[in-house]
Amino acid sequence: MFLWIVGVLSLYVSLPFVKFLRSDAVSWHDRYVPRGNFTEWVHAQNSIALERLLDNFIDENGAILASPSRNEPDYYYQWVRDSAIVVNTLVKQLPAIEQNLQYDQLVHRRILQFLNNSFVLQRLDNLSGKGVPTSIRGLGEPKFNVDNTQFNENWGRPQNDGPPLRIITILNYLQHLNNTGKQIDHIITHNAKEGFLPFKVTKDIFDNILFWDLQFIVDEWKSENFDLWEEVRGHHFFTSVMQLYAIERTLPIAKQNHLLRKKFVESLVDTRHKIREFILDNRTGFISKSANHIISCPEIYGKRSGLDIATILASIYTHDGSNTSEHLDLFHVDNRYILNTLYGLTESMSDLYPINKENERHSKKHNLAAVALGRYPEDVYDGVGISEGNPWYLATAAAAEHMYKLARKFIEDEKSIPISPSDEFWKFIIETDSKDKFDVKYHSHAFNETIKSFVALGDSFLDKIRLHVADDGSMSEQINKYTGYNQGASDLTWSYGSYLNAYQAREEILAYLSH
């Protein structure tokens, strides 16, 4: 016997709003975001998130603030990783933004500034190494001052996820222009401010920006580096998957348009093969017989569980958009190791963070709905210093995005859903006494109910954000796990970007379900 739990989840997200403790920050622009109705709040928060994200650009040079916070903590810097991720969010928003004259020209200008800023930072000597063309080592530098000067203090360097993320973002932008019949020179003419740009056509972008980031991957893909949380030196699932995906996205475009030299393309093909083998090799340790989830950093497995929201980020960042040919063919959102990672994070954090305890009004079996998620269970960074870890907005929104994309994938595949009760993730969705695998037939009533369960579970994560976001819609880096107040860096750009991604994924799956 098995029972779909969608009713429990749907009930939760439709409950009347209960006021929890949260940020008491002064409203920005005297705006108040009503939260009494979940559906109305979702749309209102999306508009706020886009505004706040765009406000964190420095107009003079296109640098993107991680946060406007200058003290406790000081995040008034530009990170290569964060910048690439949030600009990629803007690229994904373009189909909707281009219908809005208020944002169309501004967003294209911000993306052009990002391209120009990338060119500048690539050539800047820093503590990771000389800039290009002298050396590619400097491309592992994680952060810079907002005036485009080097950051000369001690830090976790190098961080090798920045170059591949930048490649992915730029290629997604060029692909969008191609899909909409636009040329980069036209965009420059109509949207760039006066001044020199080091590119005029697509070939310039490949030669002057993408080539160097690709060369960095070729040379450094197996080198130890710091993770995206800037804490652990080793080999990281997130970084390796991003490196593989960057090459996967590059090759068809470069080959079709003859944008890179043949010999260099051959080196990319060889590197792609090596990274792929490295990720899948049991000796690497991302996949372990002792765990049913991804091990984020094998070097510290045992000291830590290996559970990390970075694994979910790796999956959702490499499976974006409706063109499935652009998706990485590994670790899709329905991969059992990815799904079990989300389950492990949610199960552990439902107990770790007291603000998740209201779920106990459900039966113990089902109290995993509506959980605020953090980075990893063993986290001790509190947003300012070392004490106790907290939930993060970007992590919670990423979980929502994952569920929406999972629902969409099963619909697009037009195949039965294979369910293995031994995989813990399915405890979110069904109750069953059976240990045998079974299929939920495509387009059956059970299939439709399962899809609704995924969407309801995604909504439960967004609902947790609704309960704790500030009255003016602002999102910090973290949510205090005891009080529910915003904590850490204020107006974190990545928080807003993650919400925008989740919102877009939700709109897409709801459009599917309405047909």
User: Which residues belong to the active site?
Assistant: 227, 230
Pairwise CA distance, residues 428 & 489, whole Å: 32
3-state SS, one letter per residue, for 165-223? HHHHHHHHHHHHHHHCCCCHHHHHHHHCCCCCCCCCCHHHHHHHHHHHHHHHHHHHCCC
Q: How far is CA 461 from CA 9, 31, 203, in A?
A: 10, 24, 42
In DSSP terms, 79 is beta-bridged to 143
User: Cα–Cα distance between 9 and 367 in angstroms, integer?
Assistant: 10
Instruction: Name the DSSP letter for residue 132.
Output: T
Backbone dihedral angles phi then psi of residue 435, each to the nearest 5 degrees: -105, 0
**Under DSSP, is residue 68 helix (H, G, I), strand (E, B) or coil?**
coil
Q: For residue 512, what are the contacts with CB-CB under 8 A and spacing of at least 6?
A: 407, 408, 411
* DSSP per residue, 309-342: HHHHHHHHHTS-SS-GGGS-SSS-TT-HHHHHHH
- Is residue 66 a contact partner of residue 494, using CB atoms and an 8 Å limit? yes
Short-list 108, 248, 121, CA closest to 187: 108
Q: Which of 306, 305, 303, 328 is nearest to 317 (CA)?
A: 328
Q: Which long-range contacts (CB under 8 A, 24 or more apart) does 284-292 make?
A: 284/235, 286/237, 286/240, 287/337, 292/336, 292/337, 292/340, 292/423, 292/424
| Separation between Cα atoms, residue 377 and residue 309, nearest integer Å | 10
How many whole angstroms separate alpha carbon 293 and alpha carbon 139? 31
Cα 195 from chain centroid (whole Å): 33
Whether residue 477 contacts residue 383, with contact meaning beta carbons closer than 8 Å, is answered with yes
